[in-house]
Structure 1
């Protein structure tokens, strides 16, 4: 804060400092940006993070590997189920186990549903910030359907805690597939309608085209991943580059932009929603019956029926709950393609029931770090458009 005070003293008469956030509606969370202005033109933008810091990584050192799963929900809470999947994949990589085929397919299914929901929030709310309210209404009906599906599968809409180390909390119910098939048809129509409302709309085009443009080199140097990187023309997607959960067996394309501006980020997310619908159709076509947890009582809890009728299962249940899993000593880094980009988990194990160290690599921290470069010389209204297209999620940023 001392540097900010010094800057204020050195300002000329035409310059002023304005706080954007932490409670401004367009900041999408507790984000504070200190803007130095000359009239409406931004001379400097200093992001200040940490308002939503909850010490998630430190808390993980005092929780068992399974107990950490609900904390991952609170990272990117717009697509929490993808955090569950990413963390579970990391621990399974450390254990050296492979989950059943059906569990892999359901994880892909719910992850792509979550990607669509996340992009709906980004595109719809970004449009609202700029002044286009109608697109928000068309898309959010589909987001509610996704949350209905999550409630059917996990019992909760927002913080799902759906995965378990070695599989899933439970199998999806029978009604899940028919509702998903209906959603595929309705969501595709809603995405098409959104494009008709926005893509060729001259006001939307003028407010987004050329705003926040970034070169591929600068995007890579800043550490961009996800839609913001692909909008700059870099076709990097971990589902293709480092496949996991059988993504290499699915047929889908990686949409890329040319300029990396707000308009291209919008177009990339729109097309990614279509590609996610394409992946979901393939999952439903190949979804096969079978278990959704590994058959290893030292990793996954035995079924209640076995716990009530078999002494060995009761002992395994007690050991897993009270003493946790038997973990190998070592360290791993595992990353998945979350809605905003590369979500990585670095885990160090000393063989105990709790991780010795957990580090989360959030997608939006490197992206938000470039905010000053993105908005310097722009207007305040342009900064709002850039921030919305970055899709910064404060829970993931601050942790």
Structure 2
């Protein structure tokens, strides 16, 4: 058989193909069981992506209307369950704003320290999971070990390792333990050493860098238009941090930097988180030095704070006060307010409406990763299939918070 003796047209050199649809998730290891992405592909290139959320929707806002204001704390624990203490503090500040009260200075420092420990845990697990998804399993184990150190501190202080339910309107459930400052100082040094060791394993790895550098890029203007906050926004070059822009509690007393990126890609998001771990450590060290060793944790208001147990068991007045707060709830004045804090993923906002009773009339949450997840389709369009997993991981989407 003679060979074909003619030049082929350009169209004949291209293999005929039609776009193919590929489902990633919800039963995909990187999708956390909470997200489904329908990809339209040409070969391995993504032409279009349809991101579908809601697989972990549990009716959080409606559940808040069924109990007292204090009974909401276990629910907010289960929003961002990687850093639940930040949710506790955010909701407590919102209710205290409605009441027009300010907690004692010692409590504010206590909240800051516990919150920054939770923020470090959040960032470490996000960075570790990104590393593992790219094949670097050892750094993930290093960072899990580091988180274990802080979890031991949380267990000692709150009695729980993960969902603490430790916040209270007007203070905290218990004062710091006698060894609190020593535990935090010792644990912080060990954690920072493990973070440094984990970075040494990956930040000079050419495969790791190539998979992140220049991938999943978004501009500052697009990020702002989508309502991004937190690390994902700061990685684009916008230095917005609620702790610096609108200081709450005692954050205006601390010296810390706001890390920002320049390109808004996966690498910048990774590095911003790593640097924020160190900035949170700076805040914790300053808070430990400034925190009073003595003083009340809760405000002195019998309408808001439960009486001491010994008084409940010995006086009828304290027994009645305890019964009324537990059964009827704290009477929050009728009105509405919006309160926001810097959580692990960005601005966590609570919009509260009260009708003057002991039960919330309406609780609306502004979850930071709900906005960032809306930008995932834009980030991965035009990329290859393997780039979806690290890009999705760099956003740190937490299903409980996003779907609430």
TM-score by length of 2: 0.94
By how many angstroms is 1:186 displaced? Answer: 1.2
By how many angstroms is 1:13 displaced? Answer: 4.3
1:368 aligned residue: 373
The CA RMSD measured in Å over matched residues stands at: 1.1
Task: Mark the runs of 5 or more structure 1 residues left unpaired by the alignment.
Answer: 1-11
Kept after mapping to 1: 8 A contact 2:214/2:265: yes
Kept after mapping to 1: 8 A contact 2:269/2:394: yes
Mapped partners of 2:110, 2:160: distance in 1: 16
Q: Deviations over 1:193-226 (max 9, x none)?
A: 2222222321111000001111111111111100
Name which of 280, 304, 312 aligns with 1:307: 312
Mapped partners of 2:146, 2:178: distance in 1: 20
By how many angstroms is 1:128 displaced? Answer: 0.5
By how many angstroms is 1:29 displaced? Answer: 3.9
Q: Which runs of 4+ in 1 moved over 4 A?
A: none
Kept after mapping to 1: 8 A contact 2:33/2:55: no
Mapped partners of 2:356, 2:288: distance in 1: 39
> Is 1:104 matched up with 2:108?
yes
1:237 aligned residue: 241
By how many angstroms is 1:151 displaced? Answer: 0.8
Kept after mapping to 2: 8 A contact 1:225/1:341: yes
By how many angstroms is 1:110 displaced? Answer: 0.5
1:223 aligned residue: 227
Q: Secondary structure at the match of 2:48?
A: strand
> Is 1:169 matched up with 2:149?
no
By how many angstroms is 1:278 displaced? Answer: 0.7
Residues 1-399 of structure 1 mapped to structure 2, 5 A cutoff: 13-288=17-292, 289-399=294-404
Q: Secondary structure at the match of 1:104?
A: helix
Q: Deviations over 1:156-192 (max 9, x none)?
A: 1111001000000111212332221111211221222
Mapped partners of 2:150, 2:61: distance in 1: 29
Kept after mapping to 2: 8 A contact 1:14/1:39: no
Kept after mapping to 2: 8 A contact 1:28/1:392: no
1:8 aligned residue: none
Aligned length in residues:
388
Q: Secondary structure at the match of 1:42?
A: strand
By how many angstroms is 1:315 displaced? Answer: 1.5
Q: Secondary structure at the match of 1:346?
A: strand
TM-score by length of 1: 0.95
